[in-house]
Amino acid sequence: MKRAQGMFCAAFAALLLVPAVSAEEQSLAEAGPAVGEAFSDPLFSGGLGPEMVVIPAGGFSMGCVSGLDCYDDEKPVHQVTISQPLAVSKYEITFEDYDRFSGPGVADDQGWGRGRLPVMKVSWNDAKEYVAWLSAQTGRPYRLLSEAEWEYAARAGSATKYGWGNSIESNRANCYGCGSRWDYEQTAPVGSFEPNAFGLHDVHGNVYEWVEDCWNGSYEGAPADGSAWLSGDCGSRVVRGGAWDDFPDDLRIALRVSAAPDRRDSYYGFRVARPLGP
């Protein structure tokens, strides 16, 4: 009996030595990753999901704010507010990421290789199936970015044709005339070029990125809260960012392109988002 009492007292004393978690620390733990922090969610089947970066909330002017080489569908320039921080994949989704979902070799790599190359020849429908799978595998609400979120993330505070200025410069992206070793030959491994100010790679070139929105021929009536525009021509979806076989002007942040949601080409890929907060 004395021994049992002694063990109980020792255990109780040990509990007293465990530091209490403050309300502030508990709140921070529940809030999730901080702005600028990178993380990957574990998959229930093993391994990790795509690497994500937390971008801050904020407001920006959406559309052809540079005033250079604008098209009518990039107007009118309008204010958009992203009210909550958002996690966005650091890289375009790779074959390595996608093969965990589809099984090896399902998405065509055109003989260029797999691994860290961005997945391509995936449709909007394929991308939607991937984010549904990723959500089920992580228990987190993954989705495609809205077009406004994509432009906000790509601009990263800039108001120029490209994230770094109004000239394409050399070896900053992969396109026809970008000065990279992959120009007009094939896709480049993700992360081959410097990231933007939010820490995201390849928002210019490599592959176009599917977003959630239906196509609209101008920004008249566009949502101002960063949400996806789910009215208009929903038989076409928006892709952004330009691709490995495009000219530099097609890599402008403001450029918008539409495509049928079942279309698969070597210049179509995607990036994913994960909302944060309670």
Which residues touch 2 (CB under 8 Å, ≥6 apart)?
none
Contact 248, 167 (CB under 8 A): no
pLDDT at 32: 77
Contact 236, 215 (CB under 8 A): yes
Q: Which one-letter amino acid corresponds to residue 9?
A: C
Our CA dihedral for 137, 193, 241, 42, rounded to 10 degrees, sits at 10
Please list the ranges in the chain whose pLDDT falls under 50. Answer: 1-22, 24-29
pLDDT at 4: 43
Q: Give the bridge partners for 131, in sequence order.
A: none
Alpha carbons 269 and 114: distance in angstroms, whole number: 13
Alpha carbons 194 and 202: distance in angstroms, whole number: 8
pLDDT in tens, 50-89: 999 999 999 999 999 999 999 999 999 999 999 999 999 9
pLDDT at 277: 73
pLDDT at 31: 58
Our CA dihedral for 75, 77, 78, 81, rounded to 10 degrees, sits at 110
Contact 251, 241 (CB under 8 A): yes
pLDDT at 278: 60
Contact 254, 64 (CB under 8 A): yes
